[in-house]
Amino acid sequence: MSAAPTRAETDAERTARLRLATPGAIDPLPLFTTAALWKGYTAPGYIAKRIVEPRALTTIFGDQGTYKSAVAVALACSIGSGRPFYEIKTRKAGVLYVAGEGCGGMRKRLRAYMIGQGLSAADPQPAIAVTEAPADLIGNADQLRATVRQAEKEIELAVEAIFFDTLAANFGSGEENSASDMALAIANARSASPGAAIVVVHHSGLGDGSRERGSSALPFGSDFRFRTVYNKAARTIELRNVKAKDDELLSSLFFTPRRLGVEWLDSDGEELTAVVLDRGEEPPEGTQEGRPRTATAGLGSNQESLLKALRRLYKMQRKALTREGRDPETAKILLDGLRNVVVDEKLLPAKRFSEAIDALLGRGLIRVEGAHVLLSGED
């Protein structure tokens, strides 16, 4: 009689068997094999789709006066209520908002949001708890963990997103320019509620508005990065996605700030107000801070083809760097590589390449550094 067929051992069973066969062995890291990829896949969940995910770090940064806190408050309220963040889907989750500066103004901002959304005291309230003092991410992680537990009691919902506004105000005694201090601050933020999303509001770098101030450990460690840019002429706020792990960059969102009465009076009997954000449109042609727009007006066909090819190569390079766990902002394109692409694809004649490069250089749309060509005015 032939032996009965045996069931194939699963990866999990094999790991458990090996561990039991080696008394006192350290548990291995969780893993999977390629064979498991054919058995189905459960996509990671989101809290705000393509903006905030469980266990992920999202950074919202910008210069002073670019409404980055207003954006963060609207995002937190959307998550706390399960309402869309404009057209972005959210999943209702408990939010702890650690207000390190402007704590007094948070009451007005939150009330203005709710009035703007047509909410009253009789309606279900967003599940948000707000601190009235800053955290100390460097020196007192235990207090932050205790605050999470207290917030969960108050809102009667698990805290799945923690906002720090601003990172500097909640940093503690550490040094923002220190990679080790920045890494410690991020680690302590994550440890406050394991599995929660972390959202930090931060200032732009001094003299370089295209990146966050301080150590590069923050942009390198962030899963999603968004920059706020304010166009004073058009009174428009742009929320620009400059990094997205394992995904395409989200198209920019545009908002218009609006003052809204909060139905509270000051000591002179005048109504208090706070800013809410209305969904806006991309401004018409004109110079927008951080992104010159008129420079592309009147480009010749060869120049347009070259610029499109360069942007396409940049996009591919950034995706490749992201997959490798490297900073996509370090993307650079070889000048010879660009020449080969546009000539091989017959986008413009080889003899017109240098001419088109010179024209784009003259308009400030690109710059050349050694053997590389870089886009100018784009993150």
Residue range 88-115, pLDDT digits in tens? 999 999 999 999 876 668 999 999 999 9
Residue range 157-197, pLDDT digits in tens? 999 999 999 999 999 999 999 999 999 999 999 999 999 99
Dihedral, CA of residue 103, residue 210, residue 53 and residue 76, to nearest 10: 30
Q: Do 152 and 159 meet the contact criterion of CB atoms below 8 Å apart?
A: yes
Q: Which residues of the chain have pLDDT under 70?
A: 1-24, 102-104, 285-299, 362-364, 376-379
Give whole-number Cα distances, 142 to 235, 256, 320, 370, in Å: 42, 39, 38, 50
Sequence ranges of the chain with CATH classification 3.40.50.300: 57-279
pLDDT confidence of residue 346: 83
Helix or strand holding residue 207 (H, E):
none
Residue range 119-140, pLDDT digits in tens? 999 999 999 999 999 999 999 9
Q: Do 277 and 301 meet the contact criterion of CB atoms below 8 Å apart?
A: no
Residues 6+ apart with CB under 8 A from 243: 219, 222, 223, 224, 225, 249, 322, 328, 329
Sequence ranges of the chain with CATH classification 1.10.10: 294-375
DSSP state of 168: G
Q: Do 262 and 112 meet the contact criterion of CB atoms below 8 Å apart?
A: yes
Q: Backbone phi, then psi, for 275, in 5-degree steps?
A: -85, 135
Q: Domain 57-279: give its CATH code.
A: 3.40.50.300
Read off the tokens for 213. Answer: 């101030």
Query: What fold, for 294-375?
Result: Arc Repressor Mutant, subunit A (1.10.10)
Burial of 87 (0-12, 13-18, 19+ CB in 10 A): exposed
pLDDT confidence of residue 102: 63
pLDDT confidence of residue 376: 67
